[in-house]
Amino acid sequence: MPDSLFTTDAMREVFSGRARIARMLEFEAALAQAAADASVIPRAAADVIAGHCDVANFDIAAIERSMVRSGNLAIPLVAALTKHVGDGHDARRYVHWGATSQDAIDTGLVLQLRDALALIETDVGHLAATLAKRAREHADTLLAGRTWLQQALPITLGLKLAGFVSTLDRHRERIAAARERVLVLQFGGAAGTLASLDDQGLAIGEHLAKRLALHLPDMPWHTQRDRLCEVAAMLGMLTATLGKLGRDVALLAQTELGEAHEPGAPGRGGSSTMPQKRNPVSASVAIAASIRVPGLVATMLTAAVQEHERGLGNWPAEWETLPEIALLAAGALAAMIEVADGLDIDVNRMRSNLDLTQGLIFAEAVQTALAPTVGRDSAHALVAGACRRAIAERVHLRDILARDAAVSGALDAATLDRLFDPVCYLGESRAFVERALARYPATG
């Protein structure tokens, strides 16, 4: 399990050993009551079994140790539950009635995922709303847009942040859609037929799903693992977005740029030897998660190739992998929420950095203005040559262009001045920001 730097206490609790067993006991209690609902076992027996499904009464460590011999957690848990019900009690023989180990383990995991997705969805919403607020505040804040790590064209900070808002909104849609497919009951018995329940298997399944507030799938999915792979891939995409946000923040915080920084606080982002350091520690957490998660997603996809009706080592490969993906995603989310809530933005530095290239960042604007007169190819060659001279002579590009007869014949001084004003070459930046923030109305 990731340490506290890379996850949250809330998500750690969702996937704790205690919570895992509690969710499996929730399945066992609901199973007994569902069997009674279908008149398959006595109601009194079901009540006794359900009454003993309190995780507080179980030795978690002992059950986990026993898993080494049994091969999965359900076997020692069912044995412990049976023991709690008590020798000589009629209810004892109805424990785990009609189910198999995978039913308890998979359904327990689904119940954990329900809690995990609720936490993830809340935090994604928080981050999106915070970034939307910042994007609206900085819809007109000038910033150098960068491609291949070099200045390309002027953009706005609002445009950059709105891009993340738009992406996070899609992640929220994916979470909502995945919940419908993923939060389903697993109940199939030994080979997915529920044969031990005669003709009452589906009836019990319906009652069981209702009691657990899960969807009843069309059939058991013991070796059809697409649902869990969907969660893994979805969280992988989310973590990639968070890693990109962390990467962009870290790059903006570089000494040579100094355009934005993580929130400062005593002891935050410090160095053990350099007092001046202000390291982007939260960005580092998100980036680290985005590096670790893809391999885990690949493990889930690989594990999905399972044998016949019940898998061998591939099913156990999921048990720690999917929780770790959720834990890392939660940690990356928490880290970037902290950044977004307190992002330290240097608007003046952003504006001054636009001047670093001595006007080269406006080369496309000039080329576009010249093209209708001299043709696009000629305009490109003309401006490219002017850029080379500006670099060689260390002179502002506007001055080079003003001395060129071909340019001055097509563009007057006032037009040149406008072409070197970043506000005049932002295209649809404002419109894109407004479109991305449509679901986040401006507040006074």
Residues 40, 17: Cα–Cα separation, whole Å: 32
384, 394, 382: which is closest to 356 by C-alpha?
A: 394
Q: Among the options 196, 271, 352, 408, which is catalytic?
A: 271
Contacts of 411 (CB under 8 A, 6+ apart): 366, 369, 370, 401, 419
Q: Find the largest Cα–Cα distance for the chain.
A: 105
Nearest Cα to Cα of residue 206 among 198, 222, 217: 217
Q: In this structure, what token pair is assigned to residue 4?
A: 């506290």
Taking the C-alpha atoms of residue 425 and residue 417, their distance in angstroms, rounded to an integer, is: 12
Cα separation, 98 vs 398, whole angstroms = 81
What whole-number distance in Å separates Cα of residue 219 and Cα of residue 187?
8
Selection from 32, 3, 105, 27 nearest residue 63 by Cα: 105
- Catalytic residue, chosen from 114, 146, 247, 310, is 310
Q: How many CB atoms lie within 10 A of CB 59?
A: 12
Instruction: Reply yes or no on whether 272 is catalytic.
Output: no
Q: Which amino acid is at 106?
A: D
**Both structure tokens of 52:** 């003993």
Which residues pair with residue 146 across a beta bridge? 151
Beta carbons within 10 angstroms of residue 263's beta carbon = 14
Contacts of 263 (CB under 8 A, 6+ apart): 338, 339, 341, 342, 343, 344
List the structure tokens of 306.
Answer: 């399972």
Q: Identify any residues that bridge with 142 across adjacent strands, giving them in sequence order.
A: 156
- 92 as an active site residue: the answer is no
Contact present, 354 and 154 (Cβ < 8 Å): yes
Q: Say which residues have a Cβ less than 8 Å from residue 414's Cβ, sequence separation at least 6.
A: none
Tokens of 135: 């994007």
Query: What's the distance, CA 360 to chain centroid?
Result: 37
Q: How far, in Å, CA of 384 to CA of 367, rounded?
A: 9
155-172 b/e (C-beta count within 10 Å ≥ 16 → b): bbbbbbbbbbbbbbbebb
Residues annotated as catalytic (active site), given as ranges: 271, 310
